[in-house]
Amino acid sequence: MGYAGEYADDIAHAVALLREAHYAIALTGAGISTSSGIPDFRSPGVGLWEHADPMEVASIYVFRRNPERFYAWVRPMVAALLMAEPNPGHRALAELEAGGWLKAIITQNIDDLHQRAGACEVLELHGHLREATCISCYRIVPAGDLLDTFLASGEVPRCAACGGVMKPNVVFVGEQLPIKVVNATMEHVRRADLMLIAGSSLQVMPASQLPLLVHEHSGHLIVVNLSPTYIDDVAEVVIHADVAEVLPRVAQACAGG
């Protein structure tokens, strides 16, 4: 836990950059949702890694061959996702957007917590859990009831129309990112003169490359993340701390006039 004055200079610098920016955007990753109780499933030592390699079990090829295996593996994660509530980090970004300081939030998360905190322009590069698609007939349905039933029974969700396996609308390993979301993201990135990277260690392609694009056209970078990232060297402000602690102070200072 930091004391109140910790990072004061860095936060003031970040706020000054946000005030000067004409088109600031945020990029978020798993780190913004860990204090909402959602583990970063790519981090070594976190439960889901111990029994299976997500790169394999969450791949579209394995899913099509053996959906039972995927659903058994993902069940604790779905429970955590459905119970999670937005934290002060999500709320701070929503406030920054509402105040006009941020134009968009690009996220690698699938947890819906930015929207539930009140954010509007959220680009979900890795999809979301609000809907599911039948892998046989491509029918799309709201996922809420399916997931509740799955959590209770543990059985693979099936399509009501054809009996095919239902797949949540999240991007699996080996799948393309949703093209409309990618195009909208690139439009924001092209316009951005500042990117706030919050709770992402920038290890997952292609989202990890977005700060470089902003940097290439002389946009400023602010990094708030527990661990170092590859972009720290060229970022204007780097704060290695919990985003749920730092972002509310940034939002408060911006709103403070």
DSSP string of 19-46, one letter each residue: HH-SSEEEEE-GGGTGGGT---TTSTTS
**Looking at 90, 126, 128, 188, which residue is catalytic?**
126
Q: How far is the CB of 132 from Zn ion (least distance, A)?
A: 10
Nearest-approach distance from CB 184 to Zn ion, in angstroms: 28
Other beta carbons within 10 angstroms of residue 230's beta carbon come to: 12
Question: CA 21, CA 49: separation in Å to the nearest integer?
Answer: 40
Asked whether the bond before 39 is cis by omega within 30 degrees of 0, the reply is: no
Which residues contact Zn ion by CB under 5 A? 134, 136-137, 139, 159, 161-162, 164
Judged by beta carbon, residue 135 or residue 177, the one nearer Zn ion is 135
Do 256 and 101 touch, CB atoms closer than 8 A? no
* Range list of H helices, the chain: 8-20, 47-51, 54-57, 60-65, 67-83, 88-98, 113-116, 144-153, 179-191, 210-216, 243-255
- Least Å distance between CB 167 and Zn ion? 11
Instruction: Identify any residues that bridge with 167 across adjacent strands, giving them in sequence order.
Output: 133
Cα-Cα-Cα-Cα dihedral sign, residues 47, 51, 53, 54: negative
Nearest distance, CB of residue 94 and Zn ion, angstroms? 36
User: Distance between the two ends of the chain, CA-based, in angstroms?
Assistant: 27
Complex with Zn ion: residue 137 or 234, whichever CB lies closer: 137
Shortest CB 166 distance to Zn ion, Å: 8
Of 136 and 169, nearer to Zn ion (C-beta) is 136
**Catalytic residue check, 126:** yes
For Zn ion, give the closer residue by CB, 167 or 220: 167
Cβ distance to Zn ion smaller for residue 16 or 140: 140
Burial of 143 (0-12, 13-18, 19+ CB in 10 A): buried
Report the distance separating Cα 5 and Cα 86, nearest Å. 25
Residues serving a catalytic function are 126
